[in-house]
Structure formats: C-alpha cells, structure tokens
Structure 1
Amino acid sequence: EQAQQARRTLEERQDTEGSRVVSIPLNVAFERNEKLLQAIKEQDENKSLTTPLLPAQEDWEKAQEILLAEGVDQEEIDRNLQVPVFFTDPPISITPPGTEEPKIAFFFNYSQLQQAKRAVSDFDGEDKVVDWLRAINLVIQDEEDKYFFLPTEDLIQTIQAQQEQQSSPSRTQPSQDQQDVQEPDQQEAQQTP
C-alpha cells in the first residue's frame, strides 16, 4: 500500500514521465537501476533516478516493536531503519532452492519468519531486526557464504505467475525454476546452533 501511494504521488507530479510498482529480486533491481541510471545520465546529467524500497506497514510496525523492546529509542529507529530485515538468535537455517547446504535466513516479511520458526521443532529463539543495508553488508563480508535473503511471498507469487504465463498450456510438468521457487513452509528449516 505504501508503494501504491508513492506511485500515485509520482503520477500527480508534472515532472515525471510515469511510474509503476514491480516486485523483483534485489540483485535484479540493482542491476536494472544501474543500467537505467547510466542511460539517464547519458541523456541529461542533471536528471536522477529515485527507487525507494518500501516495507509492508505491518513489517515496519513489528520492526519498531522489536527494536523498542530492545531499548532502541524512536529517534534512532527513525534515523537508521529504512527497510527491516528479520532474523532470529539463534539463527534459523533454510536450504535455499538449488543448493544443498542450509544457510542462515534473513526475512523481509515478519510473517515468513514466524512460518520458519513454526517449522523448527522446539525452537527457542528470539526475534531480531536490522536495517537491510546492515544485513547486506553482513552477507557481503561473509567469506563462507552462509547467509541468504528469503524471497517475499509476493515475489514468489509474481515469479510463479510469470513462469505460468511463459509456459505453454501443453506442458504438464512444472519447470525446474517453478520447482525451485517454493513457499517458505515447503522448504526445510532448522535451528542453527
């Protein structure tokens, strides 16, 4: 709903050429934004590109609740939290599609974190939250490649819908990509010591 409101705000401005709201993986978004920004700068170096990431309102509220309970003051939350990323302590590991090794999961949706916690028997972990930039830095700095971001349910549904549109009606078997994109409760979750 925040993304749709941002779109409406942009459409009302006279200096915008149009906008739309899309669900795509962050790595794809970064690549596209970089290419688009270069193309814009080549045409007019005074123009810029704004691509805000907007969390769901319920995730934002839950992130604030967790941080306030940890003793972080509201001013610091407002200053340092752009997009909340949820995890647990001790961490939950999930085997991502296409891999054999479980990895520590970061969640953009609090509800997906709760699903993963329910999938781990006798889980006794504490919910945690960080800003997405801190989580990305942790992933980048990790030499062992032990972290991953669980795609949001919206993104999973978008990818599945795109794959269904691309597949021919005569196909009865799902493609490997469709098999790899699963809802979180279909993936194996475990508590990481």
Structure 2
Amino acid sequence: MQTTQQNAPLKRTMKTRHLIMLSLGGVIGTGLFFNTGYIISTTGAAGTLLAYLIGALVVWLVMQCLGELSVAMPETGAFHVYAARYLGPATGYTVAWLYWLTWTVALGSSFTAAGFCMQYWFPQVPVWVGACVLRDYFWSECYLHALFCRRGVLVLAGQSGHYHRLYHPRWGGDFRLYSDAGWLARRAE
C-alpha cells in the first residue's frame, strides 16, 4: 500500500492566522468547560494547575515531534503517513482508523454535553425538543443554501429580471443555451 503521493506538489499557503485559528479550534471544546469543573472539585486549584501543566508538556512534546517529522519529510497527508512509513502500513492504517474513531466518539460526547447544557439552562424543556429544533434548523439551512445556489445560477445565466446578462446576446453556440430556461433539461437528455 503506497501512502505517499509522489506527484502531488505541496501548497504552502497557510498563514499565521490560519494556524492560530486551527489551534484555538482544537483546544477550545466541550471537554475544557465540562471537565475543568470536575477536576477543580476533586483535586483543587493546585492539582488542576499541575494536571494541566503535565498535559501541556506531553502535548508540546508530541507537537515538537510532529513538527520535526513534517520538516524532515514534507508529505501530503496526516500523521498516519509517518506511522505507515516508519512502522509499517498496518500501523498507519490502524492509526488512521483510531483517529477517525476518536473524533466520532468526540462528536457523540459533544452532543451529550449539549444535552446537559440544555437541561441546565432550560430544565422544563425536554432534550428531544432541542434536537428537533436543531434538526429543523439544519434542513432549513440546507434548503436556503440550495435556493442561494439556484439563484446564483439564474443570475449568471441572465434569467434574473433585475440583472443584465453576463454575455453578449449575439453570442452563439453554448452561450446561446444559457438564455433559455430549459437548458438543463435538454442537456440532460
């Protein structure tokens, strides 16, 4: 199993602001808010600070190692590529699936934490009501996005009454096709 792509050029387009937002998005989550209160209540302030310092040291060492690997071998792919290269393809495959499983479980724990928050702030409202509201919001967002895309196609095709066409009316060929409302149906046949 070949995990590296030899012909894929690297695109070094990330800026400092991208890295800062990625790191903040990876750090701030439900675990930071829900677990900190539990840790403070069981170990106290000094124990919490010590636990977070030890955790930060471990994360810093892992990030240093990954940074060294990515500088030494700039390849496309995630960190499972390094595991596959140095420890074998089976290890890389396992690391990739375990990473996926970690984020799948994290998604479930985020939903559970959202249910806890809803029960805390709105104790009289059942959690399933919030889930239905969220589901309806998701579907309305999908519908409005599709409507936005359709409107964009109509504007580009010149079918909107408020905008001028983006091409000359005497153009022929495929450009002529866009001036008709049924161009998609005829092209699909």
Q: Which has the larger radius of gyration?
A: 2
**Structure with greater strand share of residues:** 1
Q: Shorter-chain TM-score: which interval?
A: under 0.3
**Structure with greater helix share of residues:** 2
TM-score by length of 2: 0.22
Of the two structures, which has the highest relative contact order with CA contacts closer than 8 Å and spacing of 6 or more? Answer: 1
